[in-house]
Amino acid sequence: MPDDSKPTTPGLAPPLWSRRDVLQTAQTLGLGALAVGAAANSLAKPAATKESAVEDRVFPGGPGRIFGPGPKGWWDSERVSCPRVLRGADGKWKMWYYGRDPDFDRKVTLPTGRVGLATSDDGIRWQRVAGPLTMGAVFEPHPDLSRFDSSHVGITDIHFHDELYWMWYLGGDQSIRKFGLTEAKGFPMLPGCAISRDGLHWTRLAGPHRGALLDVGVAGDFDEAMVSWPQVVRWDDGSWRLYYHGLNAQRDYTMGWAESLDGLSWQKRGPLLGPGPTGRFDDKGVATRHMLKIGGRWVLFYEGCRYVGSPVQVDRQIGVAVSDDGLDWRRVDGPLEHGAVLAQATKGSGGWDYRIGCPWVVPMPDGSLRLYYIGSNEHQGGTELETVHQIGVAVSDGDITQWRRYT
């Protein structure tokens, strides 16, 4: 009998490995007997979960907002970001997301930090689950300072298959680099993978690049500055594709992809979807995204970037592209200004989601769609640390271009 309490991932083929494959993989990657034993133990003995009854603190809200930073003393008390949501066949919901508390390393100027978990009966009202790590987190930077993910981490993709949760995430190391006008710790970001039996206790699967699955490109490549926000899809022919976005010296964001026959050794295949025409909401590129099958075709919901103002700031709105094969993508013009399908709040309105991104779409049994996203308030210059990141949801009757914020 299937376990109806386990989440499903609509529109994706079962992506990954069995438990036996996981242990074989650990050996193949040279994790050693102790690491293999730890992986087996963590998968075989999930700990009981503990749900927190506390609500998130009160922050400026408005249409769409459903989840804000946590209470003082929690790992996410400063910001929450990048929701990754699974809905079980029994109607139970789980949401993994990244965020940080005010004491997290301030040299890391991105909204990433640690990863946590929340649960819900309806996908709208959420309760935090106290994880086993720092201040209730379920995943955090690696203690080995030589690894790619030793300064900050953030979840970007989640699946459940063969009694295992599979998390794809980004991580940054201890280096401090200047890129353009930005100087930050943990930059560039690289992709990693971890597995869990219960969604709370995670075991990393080490890749060949200081633990990462891929490395940045050489100078002049579209991904010379980062290989980040991975999403993995297993194709019908058994091959795997890892979609990510890169950043170049001109600060253009471009979605690229890599391919694998075994899920261990990845080969970059090049760029797929870059900046749109001048004047569009995405004329500086395609950043965070979620790809899934809807109505027999692949649909890509993505965060489009556009530089505006002086000093230059990045407008972020959400758009759509479609594909028959996952490689040849066609932009779909949305009904909103500059071609977006979900726009940021109006400048000067005080809206909680003046800039938006990190889309994640969940098809519902009645044919409607939910789009989970993050919003940040308006600010002048500075870094991401000067904004408040919160989580919202928009809904659609099924048309991928027509969305309204949940109220």
How far apart, in Å, do the first and last CA atoms of the chain sit?
38
Question: Which tokens belong to 167?
Answer: 């998390």
Report helix angle 19-28 to 32-44, nearest 10.
Answer: 160
Backbone angles phi, psi at 16, to 5 degrees: -135, -145
Question: Which tokens belong to 155?
Answer: 């979840």
What pLDDT was estimated at residue 25? 46
Question: Which tokens belong to 192?
Answer: 């990693």
What pLDDT was estimated at residue 178? 80
Alpha-carbon distance of 393 to 126, in angstroms, equals 12
Q: Which residue blocks in 163-299 are alpha helix, DSSP H?
A: none
Single-letter amino acid, residue 20: R
Cα-based angle 332, 247, 245 (whole degrees, multiple of 5): 50
Q: CATH code for 7-44+57-405? A: 2.115.10.20
CA torsion sign, 332 to 334 to 337 to 341? negative
What pLDDT was estimated at residue 58? 56
Q: Which residue blocks in 212-370 are alpha helix, DSSP H?
A: none
Single-letter amino acid, residue 214: L
Q: What is the pTM of this model?
A: 0.89
| Look-up of token digits 């790992």 | 75
- Which one, of 272, 288, 263, 139, lies nearest residue 208 by Cα? 263
Spell out the per-residue pLDDT of the chain, length 407, in tens: 333 344 444 333 333 444 444 544 444 333 333 333 334 334 444 444 455 544 555 566 789 999 999 999 999 999 999 999 999 888 899 999 999 999 999 999 888 999 999 999 999 999 999 999 999 999 999 999 999 999 999 999 999 988 999 999 999 999 998 866 667 899 889 999 999 999 999 999 999 999 999 999 999 999 999 999 999 999 989 899 999 999 998 889 999 999 999 887 899 999 999 999 999 999 999 999 999 999 999 999 999 999 887 556 788 999 999 999 999 999 999 999 899 999 999 888 889 999 999 999 999 999 999 999 999 998 765 667 788 999 999 999 999 999 999 99
8 A C-beta contact, residue 302 and residue 321 = yes
The CA-atom distances, in angstroms, between 374 and each of 8, 47, 350 are 22, 30, 16
**DSSP notation for 249-275:** TT--EEEEEEEESSSSS-EEEEEEE--
What pLDDT was estimated at residue 380? 62
Alpha-carbon distance of 347 to 349, in angstroms, equals 6
**DSSP notation for 33-74:** HHHHHHHHHHHH-PPPP-B--PPPPP----TTEEE----TTS
Alpha-carbon distance of 159 to 156, in angstroms, equals 11
Alpha-carbon distance of 337 to 318, in angstroms, equals 11
Mapping DSSP to helix (H, G, I), strand (E, B) and coil, where does residue 267 land? strand
Question: Which tokens belong to 24?
Answer: 């074989």
